[in-house]
Structure 1
Amino acid sequence: MGILPVSPRHHVWWGVGMALRTLTLGLVGVSALAGCASVAGSAAGNLADDLSAAILNQDDPELVRDNLPAYLLLLDSLAANPDAGPAVLGAAARLYAAYAIAFVDDPGRAATLAGRARAYGTRAACAANRRTCDLEGLPFADFTARLDRVKPGQAGALFSYAVGSLAYVRTHSDDWQAIADLPKIEAVLTRLLVIGDAADAGTVNTYLGILNTLRPPALGGQPEVGRSYFEKAVELTGGRDLSVLVEYARGYARLVYDRELHDSLLNRVLVADPRQSGYTLLNTLAQRQAAELLASANDYF
């Protein structure tokens, strides 16, 4: 069997991009609509909760795609306020990241929208903690020193910063400076394992699994570290989030050329019931990707 040639840069693009295609959607209802609710009061909060559930439990991704732009415009209007807080700014970052990666096929437009995601994430981090203002351009040691001073109450904004930054990397795969920021994004995610919300822990572990399996060991990758993150993500989500299994197969099993594990994980996705509370949308997309990966397996391995 032939092995598809994959350059380091292409592998970074593929891993980050395909991961965000499913994973950022899991943040749409929970964070973006919650951001609206945080400024609109309890009645709107109840509506936001209902809309959140409707999005995450939707088994028609195209229906979600066609209706998300209305929320983008709503968040733009709220974020235009100079006093906009981290909840609104973080919601805008996550929703723009999800929309740009999951639903926009035009590369130029996706890059523009992801740029907005990163800008909103940067503003969210700054609004939450002045120590996380002006992070761009800092040497790595100074960057991590600032992260060490971020408290649990500011973790949500930091997570939004990471999601916006990852979306930007995905849509600027020819920009080595953007790719060079991946170690900083990994440092943010590692910090979130310590201070982050337990509800986000599965996603954080999955992202870390992806980042550690972007490259083979000879180029600095750490596949076994990545595998441990994937296993932890499966444990934390109880196996209900099928996108974790897809990323495990795509990131780890393909990197180490473990065909048996690869097919086992993906077949597990295909036979699972996608209708799981809070995961139906993710799982519907994950099953589509699992079928595509299995179809290409003979060419890869």
Structure 2
Amino acid sequence: MNDLIRAIRNWHKKSLLVVCLSAIIPVMGCAVLPARLAAPLIPNMMESFFSECDTEIARQALPSQLKLMEGLLKGDPLNRDILKALSSGYAGYALLFAEDDSPERASALYLRAKDYGLRSLCDLGERLKTGEGGADSVRQSLSTAGQAALENLFWTAVAWSGWISTQGDNPEALAQVWLLRLLLERIIAINSDFFYGAPYALLGSLSAATPPLLGGDPSRAREAFERAMELSSGRFFLIQYFYARHGAVRFQDRALFVKLLESIARSDEADLRQMCLINRVFKAKAARLRIMEDELFY
């Protein structure tokens, strides 16, 4: 009972601090203190978001959290934790709630998330933004990033991948594919099983969708997807969905498409509790994608 009381008090203190900070910010203007005090709470906010199984609660809650964090950022514009959280938040919202209903809106959100992610990477972000010096130079710069920057790199890649996927044949987007590929390769080199294999799923999607002249390769795409499947053990539905939508459709492998989507339908989204929201959303996406089967295969 004492442990429960202490937990409630701690939760109350954290919640009160966030509320107080949101009131302090307009008064203190660009003061750094509120942002620095709130920064340690931000990872818990994002973890709470992704573990939320009620999609409507998450859909309604995240925008206000993002605006609160943008307010905090005004007081501490170089705070990498806040920048990373904003990158993950906007990328996650675009992927989960905007992409299917409004690709144009999702594109704008992905672009905002990408900008926050690049800013969180400081000088490396500037190098990735311009691609100055070509592939060897960018690869060398990326080699300096290690475990401490892994989440920043990953959410930047999620946002960048999402933005490119909404652009179709836009030459500006196609011209950035090589940068995203190098970024994903560095993430995998730092931690090959990070985020249940999602970097491999992103790399597989990129390799499947990109023309051969820009580095696309169906065989490499399939290898990346299969590696992601191994790492997720079928528990992270984003992997099967990306493999079905971006891989099986591109390969015109109807049997694989059906197998992947049926595996999602049979599985319990709460089995991977910390990713319950993503699993629940992608389970619904998978059901909608299955309805489109006859349109996607010819």
Q: TM over 0.5: same fold?
A: yes
In 2 relative to 1, CA 111–53 (structure 1 residues): closer, same or farther, beyond 3 Å?
Answer: closer
2:288 matches 1:295: no
Q: Is the 8 A contact 1:61 1:285 kept in 2?
A: yes
2:277 matches 1:284: no
Deviations 1:271-297 (A, max 9, x none): 111212112212212222222222121
Q: Output the TM-score relative to the length of structure 1.
A: 0.75
Q: Is the 8 A contact 2:161 2:202 kept in 1?
A: no
Q: Which residue in the other structure is 1:260 paired with?
A: 255
Alpha-carbon deviation of 1:76? 0.6
Deviates more, 1:211-220 or 1:89-98: 211-220
In 2 relative to 1, CA 255–114 (structure 1 residues): closer, same or farther, beyond 3 Å?
Answer: closer
Q: Is the 8 A contact 1:214 1:221 kept in 2?
A: yes
- Partner-residue secondary structure (3-state), 1:239: coil
Distance 1:156 1:48 in 2: 11
Structure possessing the higher radius of gyration over alpha carbons: 2
Alpha-carbon deviation of 1:108? 5.3
- Partner-residue secondary structure (3-state), 1:149: coil
Q: 2:180 aligns with which of 181, 185, 198?
A: 185
Distance 1:106 1:266 in 2: 23
Q: 2:221 aligns with which of 218, 226, 230?
A: 226
2:235 matches 1:240: yes
Report the residue type matching 1:288 in the other structure: A
Deviates more, 1:136-145 or 1:269-278: 136-145
Q: Is the 8 A contact 2:46 2:89 kept in 1?
A: no
Unpaired runs of 5+ in structure 1?
1-37
Q: Which residue in the other structure is 2:129 paired with?
A: 136
The percent identity for this pair of structures is 28
Alpha-carbon deviation of 1:182? 1.5
Q: Output the TM-score relative to the length of structure 2.
A: 0.76
Report the residue type matching 1:57 in the other structure: S
Alpha-carbon deviation of 1:175? 3.6
Distance 1:59 1:160 in 2: 21
Distance 2:155 2:213 in 1: 31
Distance 1:170 1:256 in 2: 17
In 2 relative to 1, CA 125–78 (structure 1 residues): closer, same or farther, beyond 3 Å?
Answer: same
Unpaired runs of 5+ in structure 2?
1-34
Give matches, 1:87-236, under 5 Å. 87-104=81-98, 105-106=101-102, 109-126=105-122, 130-137=123-130, 138=132, 139-173=134-168, 175-196=170-191, 198-200=193-195, 202-215=197-210, 221-236=216-231
2:69 matches 1:75: yes
In 2 relative to 1, CA 209–56 (structure 1 residues): closer, same or farther, beyond 3 Å?
Answer: same
- Partner-residue secondary structure (3-state), 1:136: helix
Alpha-carbon deviation of 1:267? 0.8
Q: Is the 8 A contact 1:124 1:160 kept in 2?
A: no
Distance 2:62 2:177 in 1: 28
Distance 1:285 1:232 in 2: 23
In 2 relative to 1, CA 258–125 (structure 1 residues): closer, same or farther, beyond 3 Å?
Answer: same
- Partner-residue secondary structure (3-state), 1:150: coil
Q: Is the 8 A contact 1:172 1:178 kept in 2?
A: yes
Deviations 1:30-87 (A, max 9, x none): xxxxxxxx94479x64x963x5554333333222111111111121122223453322
